[in-house]
């Protein structure tokens, strides 16, 4: 069963193996090439602190008990909700990135976030663009994006999933009361 859940310290070796792959790190903004196990463990702990502070969620994507990827959300430099995802090289080509990104969007919407959701991907990674298109994201603009694994800025796309409509917000409010309230 596929699920998103926090990556425990006990899975640091699987996490390290995944993020040390150059084909993964080059397509992320914040994972440099050549990380070591200590960096990976520190990254897991830092992300948990950021999650506790409400700044992001960075979960592992598990197929049963096997870590096959990661996905989550964060507030970008423009204070916009942005999602990200990455799949272990041994598990690519199975639709897992699409499922992971969809799970993140679903968690955000189910948690009451109704605003626009953004994603950024490098132009030399069109597979990530196809993932987003399948979920209803549309290219909004072209930019130069940073990556800890690339020299300088690289051409990138910013994609956007529109906010829920006013009618959608009303339907959601009627269907799901806020915690501690009723629909009456």
Confirm whether 184 is domain-assigned. no
pLDDT tens, residue by residue, 49-91: 999 999 999 999 999 999 999 999 999 999 999 999 999 999 9
DSSP helix/strand/coil, 45: helix
Residue 181 in any domain: the answer is: no
Tally of domains in the chain: 1
pLDDT reported for residue 163: 94
Tell me if 180 is assigned to some domain. Answer: no
Residues 49 and 54: their CA atoms lie apart, in Å, by: 9
Q: pLDDT band for 122, please (50, 70, 90 cuts).
A: very high
Query: Is 103 among the domain residues?
Result: yes
For residue 103, the tally of other CB atoms under 10 A from its CB is 19
123: containing domain: 2-175
**Nearby residues of 13 by Cβ (< 8 Å), 6 or more positions away:** 37
Task: Flag whether 119 is in a domain.
Answer: yes
Q: The domain that contains 65 carries what CATH number?
A: 3.40.630.30
- In-domain check, residue 182: no
């Amino acid at each position: 069963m596929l699920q998103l859940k926090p990556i425990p310290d006990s899975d640091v070796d699987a996490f390290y193996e995944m993020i040390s792959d150059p084909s993964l790190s080059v397509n992320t903004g914040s994972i440099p090439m050549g990380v070591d196990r200590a960096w990976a463990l520190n990254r897991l702990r830092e992300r948990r602190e950021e999650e506790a502070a409400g700044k992001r969620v960075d979960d592992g994507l598990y197929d049963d008990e096997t870590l096959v990827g990661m996905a989550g959300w964060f507030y970008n430099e423009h204070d916009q909700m942005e999602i990200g995802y990455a799949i272990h090289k041994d598990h690519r080509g199975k639709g897992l990135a699409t499922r992971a990104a969809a799970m993140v969007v679903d968690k955000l919407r189910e948690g009451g976030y109704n605003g626009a959701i953004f994603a950024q991907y490098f132009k030399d990674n069109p597979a990530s663009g196809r993932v987003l298109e399948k979920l209803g994201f549309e290219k909004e603009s072209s930019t130069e994006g940073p990556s800890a694994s690339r020299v300088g800025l690289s051409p990138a796309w910013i994609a956007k999933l529109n906010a829920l409509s006013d009618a959608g917000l009303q339907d959601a409010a009627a269907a799901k009361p806020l915690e501690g309230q009723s629909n009456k």
